[in-house]
A = this chain, B = another copy of it.
Amino acid sequence: MDQVSPGKRPLPPPKTGRGETTRRKILEAAQREIGRRGFAEASVATITAEAGVAQGTFYIYFRSKEDVMRELVLHMGRMLRHHLTEATAKAKDRLDAERLGLRAFLGFVRKNPDLYKVVEESQFVDEAVYRQYYTEFAKGYRIALAAAEKRGEIAPGSSSVATEVRAWMLMGISVFLGQRYGLWDPKAPLEPIVDAAAAMIANGLAPAARPARRK
């Protein structure tokens, strides 16, 4: 059940060490070029120049510019998932995980702005891969939230759609804060931002005539 059409399947991987090195150089150059100049501006010529190889070499490893984008989106997915898993590993509960995850996400965006922008732009280059990226994240999120509901760590959702909605809301929050404070204002101290966000995630906007959450 391979969902990927043959034209979009990646080219076979290199068979020698040299090949792998070259492929990686191109991928890294593409990440920088596309991330900084945008997909339209980043030509195969500038990418290969940046990578220090000839233009034709590009087509040994990739069918097209879009091909590298797909690859980079998958790469970001793996990286980010790993990063978040590590960051939230020792969270005490789901609310704690939300805070740690958000902080880690903002840190990730600041450290990899190019890659992050590539993923956002992928929406307009190959929507399928972009959707898949977020749909998969949403799925994991939904599962984690549902488990936390069951454990009583967060308020139970009124329905299964409610849990899905929450997952997308939380992703939207991360993405927007990532854009605003990760990309556009990369020097602002993260703590107050994460504090404010975590507080709202935990308690919403309603006024506070309520007991503090128990540990």
Contact = CB atoms under 8 A, between A and B. Distances in A.
Residue in A94, A124, A192 with the greatest tally of chain B CB atoms within 10 Å:
A124
B210 A197 contact: no
Contacts of A155: 203-208
Residue in A162, A169, A211 with the greatest tally of chain B CB atoms within 10 Å:
A169
Contact of A197 (B38, B165, B214): B165
B206 A203 contact: yes
Summarize A's interface: helix, strand, loop or mixed: helix
A3 interface: no
Interface stretch (A4-12, A55-63, A108-116, A170-178): A170-178
B204 A38 contact: no
Contacts of A202: 204-206
A201 B205 contact: yes
Contact of A203 (B162, B169, B176, B203): B203
A171 B172 CA distance: 8
A148 B204 CA distance: 14
A32 to B, nearest CB: 16
Interface of A: 38-40, 94-95, 98, 120-121, 123-124, 131, 138, 152-155, 157-159, 161-162, 165-166, 168-169, 171-177, 180-181, 184, 188, 192-193, 195-197, 199-211, 213-214
A210 B214 CA distance: 12
Given A155-B203, A155-B206, A168 B177 contact: yes
A213 B207 CA distance: 8
Contact of A172 (B38, B152, B175): B175
Given A159-B192, A205-B98, A208-B155, A176 B166 contact: no
Given A124-B38, A124-B39, A171-B176, A206 B161 contact: no
A205 B166 contact: yes
User: Sorted from nearest, which 6 A-B pairs have the closest CB atoms?
Assistant: A172-B176, A204-B204, A162-B196, A210-B210, A172-B172, A165-B196
